[in-house]
């Protein structure tokens, strides 16, 4: 047992020593308070602070430069955005555009059990940490476009056209 502990810790330390650059995160969301909480979370949780740097956060209705967007290694999108009295699943088409360009992204929200096992979704209320979800996202070799299909099906009623785009 002690040997396996040493081997696993030694292996983990070797990997962390070879990854001396932090991955850059950009986070979009509907609520400023949630964006601020995610910033604080990333700063104080050791697995996040050591491996990731939040380069910017932005509410969906605020502009962000193309340079900032393109420099992000991973973009997090909140699932919903409010348009008047309707909620649109803004994160799904935004994530789809990102994946089509060969970039990584993740949708986050609270209490979305119907898609909690989807590798493209982080449910803040679940027992999986953001650091664990991001580590999985960056190490697996999956066709992420395939995982958009169930998201589109589950949230179909919330995917409507706004200003001529889905």
Name the helix (H) or strand (E) containing 82: strand 81-83
The CATH topology of domain 21-158 is: Rossmann fold (3.40.50)
Average pLDDT in the 96-106 region?
96
Q: Contact 69/24 with Cβ under 8 angstroms? A: no
Average pLDDT in the 102-110 region?
95
Q: Contact 29/57 with Cβ under 8 angstroms? A: yes
Question: Residue 9's CB: how many other CB atoms inside 10 A?
Answer: 10
Question: Residue 91's CB: how many other CB atoms inside 10 A?
Answer: 29
Convert the pLDDT of each residue in 6-36 to its tens digit: 334 443 443 444 456 899 999 999 999 999 9
Question: What's the pLDDT at 111?
Answer: 84
How do the domains of the chain map onto residue ranges?
Answer: 21-158
Tell the residue number behind the tokens 């955005």, with chain if given.
Answer: 81
Residue 58 has pLDDT above 70, yes or no: yes
* More confident call, 18 vs 89: 89
Averaged pLDDT score across all residues of the chain: 87
Q: Could you tell me the pTM of the whole model?
A: 0.84
Q: Contact 77/28 with Cβ under 8 angstroms? A: yes
């Amino acid at each position: 047992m002690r040997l396996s502990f040493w081997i696993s810790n030694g292996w983990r330390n070797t990997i962390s020593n070879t990854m001396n650059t932090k991955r850059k995160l950009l986070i979009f969301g509907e609520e400023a308070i949630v964006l601020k909480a995610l910033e604080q979370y990333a700063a104080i949780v050791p697995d996040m602070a050591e491996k990731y740097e939040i380069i910017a956060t932005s509410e969906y209705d605020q502009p962000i430069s193309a340079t900032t967007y393109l420099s992000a290694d991973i973009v997090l999108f909140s699932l919903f955005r409010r348009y008047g009295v309707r909620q649109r699943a803004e994160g799904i088409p935004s994530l789809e555009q990102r994946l089509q360009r060969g970039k990584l992204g993740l949708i986050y929200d609270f209490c979305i059990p119907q898609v909690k096992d989807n590798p493209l979704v982080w449910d803040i209320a679940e027992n999986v940490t953001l650091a664990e979800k991001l580590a999985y996202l960056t190490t697996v070799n999956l066709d992420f476009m395939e995982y958009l299909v169930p998201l589109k099906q589950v949230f179909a009623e919330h995917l409507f056209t706004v200003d001529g785009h889905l």
